[in-house]
Structure 1
Amino acid sequence: MGNYRFILSGGGTGGHIYPAIAIAGELKKRYPNAEFLFVGARDKMEMEKVPQAGYKIEGLWISGIQRKLTLKNLMFPFKLISSLLRARNIVKRFQPDVAIGTGGFASGPLLRMAAGSRVPCVLQEQNSYAGITNKLLAGKAQSICVAYDGMEKFFPKEKIVKTGNPVRQDLVNLEVGQKQALETFGLKEGRKTVLILGGSLGARRINQLIEQQLDFFKQQNVQLLWQCGKLYHDDYKNYDSDTVRVMAFINKMDHAYSAADFIISRSGASSVSELCLVGKPVIFIPSPNVAEDHQTKNAQALTSKNAAVLLKEAELESQFEAVFRDLTESEGKQAELSSNIKKLALPKATEHIVDEIEKLLK
C-alpha cells in the first residue's frame, strides 16, 4: 500500500516553496511509492526550484492583486478564471488523495478546486499574520498547521494545529564546530563574527547599512560574514577582505550559523524558524515592503518573549550603533536572548505536519 497521490501548491517566494518541498520530502520518506505533483504560478521561482528538488510542477496563469490600478489588476479576473479552470482539470486528471497548500497565489485556485472535488485539504501558514490566500481557504481546509500562538483570530480554532515551520534538516543539529566553520569562510578565530542575512534575494537597505557601518564594525573589532544577495553582489564585492567576507549567496548555511556569534537578519517566517533552532543573539530588521507588514509581526512575536532585538528600518540611522554596542558588550543579554529564542524552536515541524496529513488518508 502507500500508492498515494499528493498535490502541493505554494510559491511566489522561497518562504512558501521550501516548506512545500520539505513536506513532500517527509511524505516520500514515509510513502516511497507515492506520486507528487506541485502546482505553481507560471512565472515565479517555484517553476525552477521545484524541478531542482526532483518534483514535477505545472504552472497556472495567476498573480496577486497590485495595490494600485494597473493593467495587471484589470487582467486579474481573466487570470483567476483561467487558473480555476486549469486547476480543476489538473485535480480531475491527477486525482489526489490530499491537497496541501503552503500559501502564495497559486495555492488559492488549486485548493479551491480540490476542496470542490471533495479532496481533503491541509493548509500550512508560516507567518504570525496569516496570508490572504490561506485566510480565504480556511473554511475549506480540514486542518491548518501554524507556527505561532494566537492564530485563532484568522482561522477556526478547532482546525488549528501548532506544528511550527519546516526547516532544513542540516540545521536541526548544528554539527559543525565554530573553528571548522570559520575556516570554511577564511575567517579568524578569536574575533567575534557577525552574520548578515537579507533573505533569499538580499535586502538593499541592510546592505546600505552594513556599507555605512564598516568603520564602526572595525572599531568594534568584529569580522563580518555578509550575504548581500545575488542582485547586489557586484555593488559590494570590492569590500571583501580578511575581516569582511562578501558573498552573493551562502550554500553552507549550517557552517554560517556555526561561525556566527551575532546575527543581523530579515524576519521572514522561514528565517525566524531557523534562527530559533540556531539559538544565537539576533537583531531583526524587518522588511517594511511585504504584505500586511508580516515581517514586523513575526519579529514582535519573538521580542515580546525577550528572544530577539527588533530594529525598524526607519530607526537604523539613529539607533543601530547603540543597539549593536548594547548587545555585544553585555554577555548577560546575549545569554538571555540565546536561551529564550531556543525555547521557541520546533525542530520536528515537518514530521508533525505530515502526521496531520496522514490522518486524512483513507
Structure 2
Amino acid sequence: MRVIISGGGTGGHIYPAITIANEVAKLAGNCEILFVGTKHGLEADIVPKEGFPFATIEVRGLERRLSWKNVRTLFATIGSVWHAAQIIKKFKPDVVIGTGGYVCGPVLLAASLLKIPTIIQEQNVIPGVTNKILSRFVDKIALGYQEAADYFSCRSEKITITGNPIRPEVMSASRESGVAELSLDPDKLTVLVVGGSRGARSINNAMFGVYRYFSNNQRIQILHVTGQSEYNSIVDNIKQSGIEISSGGNIIIKPYLYNMPVALASADVAVFRAGAVGLAELTARGIPAILIPYPYAAENHQEFNARALEKQGAAIVIADKELTDAKLIEALEILLDHPEVLSNMAKKSKELGRPQAAQAIARLAISLKETLI
C-alpha cells in the first residue's frame, strides 16, 4: 500500500499525522509512506527525524479577510496544486490523507482531481477554512468531535467520528513509572499545569496565587510546566514575591517536559489550554480538567473544544479574560474537597476518550484502497 500524508505548520497537525502513518504501516504490512509539507514549517524538521521520506511544495495560508495578499496567495495556490499533482503522479499513492494546515489544500485537491481516494482529519469542533473547502472534494472526513459534523455541508456518509490520534506512549505510560521519573509523592493528588510547549502567560501569572495558597499542602502536589521562555521570569518573581515553595516540596516547576506521557499518567487533575490533541490525550487517560482556552485561536475553536468537554461533565472551563488566581484556586478546591465530583469527572472524561483514533483512521484509509481492488 502507498500512502501520502500531508499536514504541517504546527505540532498539532504533524504529530497526529506521524501517529496515523505508523498505524497504517502496522496494519497494512507492506507499506510505503510519503509526507508532503513545506520547507518552512516544523514538519521539515520533525518528519525526516521520524524516518519518513519528505517532499515539499510552496504554499501560503489565506488571511481571514479580503486582501490583495489573499489574491496573490490564490494565484500561488494554483502553482502549488500543479506541483502537488506532479509529486502524486510520481509516487502513485493508493490513498492521500490530510491532517490539517494550509499545506493540505493543494495536496488533497490535486489528489481529488486525479481521482485518488482522499481523507481529511478535522481535529476541532470548529473546522478550519481549508478543511471546509476540501470537504466538498474528498471521499471521507474523519472528525475528532461529533459536534464538528454540523459545520460541514456535505453528505453524512462522508463523515466518520474517529476521535483525534494520540501517541501510543500516552496509553502505555504507567502512573508508577511517572511518579518515579518525576520524583512525585505517590500518596498525593497530582495537579498537572501545562499551557502548551511555549507556555501560557495568563495561566503562569495566575499560578503565583496558587503557589502561595497550596504551598505545604499535604493533600496535593503541583507539577507546573511553564514553557521555556517563561521559566526564568517565573522563578525570579517567586523569589521577589517571597513565596516559599521549597520547604513544602509539593510544588515542582519545570520549563519543559520531554516525556509528557509519564506526566499525564501521573496526573489526577490537569490545568490545560484546549487544543484538540491535548484534550484527546486527557480524555484517553480519563483525566478531569480545568480548561483555559487560548482566546486568539482561529475561529475561537479552543473555546468550542473546551465547552464540548464541559457539556459532558469532563471539565471546568474558565475563560482566559476571566482567569485569576482566585478563580483557579476555587476550581481546584471544588475538585479536591469533593472526591465524588473528581471521580465523576474522571469517568466522564474516560467515556469521551478515543485512544484507538489513529487505528480507526488507518482502517478507514485501508478500506478506501480496498474498494478500488
Q: 1:205 to 1:41 in 2, by over 3 A?
A: farther
Matched with 1:132 is: 129
Looking at structure 2, the residues matched to 321 and 348 of structure 1 have their Cα atoms a distance apart, in angstroms, of 34
In the alignment, structure 2 segments of 5+ residues that lack a partner are 239-244
Alignment RMSD (CA, Å): 2.2
220-229 vs 110-119, which moves further: 220-229
Matched with 1:264 is: 271
Matched with 2:350 is: 342
Q: 1:59 to 1:209 in 2, by over 3 A?
A: farther
Question: Are 1:28 and 2:28 counterparts?
Answer: no
Looking at structure 2, the residues matched to 94 and 196 of structure 1 have their Cα atoms a distance apart, in angstroms, of 44
Question: Are 1:81 and 2:71 counterparts?
Answer: no
Q: TM-score, normalised by structure 2?
A: 0.89
C-alpha contact (below 8 Å) 1:165/1:346 kept by paired residues: yes
Residue 312 of structure 2: SS of its match in structure 1?
Answer: coil
The equivalent position to 1:17 in structure 2, one of 14, 17, 23, is 14
Residue 323 of structure 2: SS of its match in structure 1?
Answer: helix
C-alpha contact (below 8 Å) 1:185/1:245 kept by paired residues: no
Looking at structure 1, the residues matched to 194 and 274 of structure 2 have their Cα atoms a distance apart, in angstroms, of 10
Looking at structure 1, the residues matched to 206 and 71 of structure 2 have their Cα atoms a distance apart, in angstroms, of 38
Matched with 1:312 is: 319
Matched with 1:255 is: 262
The percent of aligned pairs where both chains have the same amino acid is: 35
Aligned residues: 357
Matched with 2:206 is: 209
Residue 164 of structure 1: SS of its match in structure 2?
Answer: coil
Looking at structure 2, the residues matched to 265 and 97 of structure 1 have their Cα atoms a distance apart, in angstroms, of 38
Matched with 1:227 is: 225
Give, in angstroms, the shift of residue 307 of structure 1.
1.2
Matched with 2:284 is: 277
C-alpha contact (below 8 Å) 2:269/2:287 kept by paired residues: yes
Give, in angstroms, the shift of residue 190 of structure 1.
3.4
What CA deviation, in whole Å up to 9, does each residue of 1:152-207 have, x standing for no partner? 32232111111111111122244342xx4223122334333211111233222222
Give, in angstroms, the shift of residue 69 of structure 1.
7.7
Looking at structure 1, the residues matched to 183 and 108 of structure 2 have their Cα atoms a distance apart, in angstroms, of 47
Name the amino acid aligned to 2:54: I
Matched with 1:164 is: 163
In the alignment, structure 1 segments of 5+ residues that lack a partner are none
Give, in angstroms, the shift of residue 67 of structure 1.
4.3
Q: TM-score, normalised by structure 1?
A: 0.91
Alignment of 1:147-162 (within 5 A): 147-155=144-152, 156=154, 157-162=156-161
Question: Are 1:245 and 2:252 counterparts?
Answer: yes
C-alpha contact (below 8 Å) 1:167/1:350 kept by paired residues: yes
C-alpha contact (below 8 Å) 2:217/2:250 kept by paired residues: no
Looking at structure 2, the residues matched to 349 and 207 of structure 1 have their Cα atoms a distance apart, in angstroms, of 32
4+ long deviations beyond 4 Å = 67-75, 237-241
Matched with 1:330 is: 338
Q: 1:243 to 1:295 in 2, by over 3 A?
A: same
Residue 130 of structure 2: SS of its match in structure 1?
Answer: helix
Looking at structure 2, the residues matched to 69 and 204 of structure 1 have their Cα atoms a distance apart, in angstroms, of 31
The equivalent position to 2:61 in structure 1, one of 64, 82, 85, is 64
What CA deviation, in whole Å up to 9, does each residue of 1:245-277 have, x standing for no partner? 222322222321232222101111111111112
Give, in angstroms, the shift of residue 96 of structure 1.
1.3
Looking at structure 1, the residues matched to 354 and 298 of structure 2 have their Cα atoms a distance apart, in angstroms, of 25
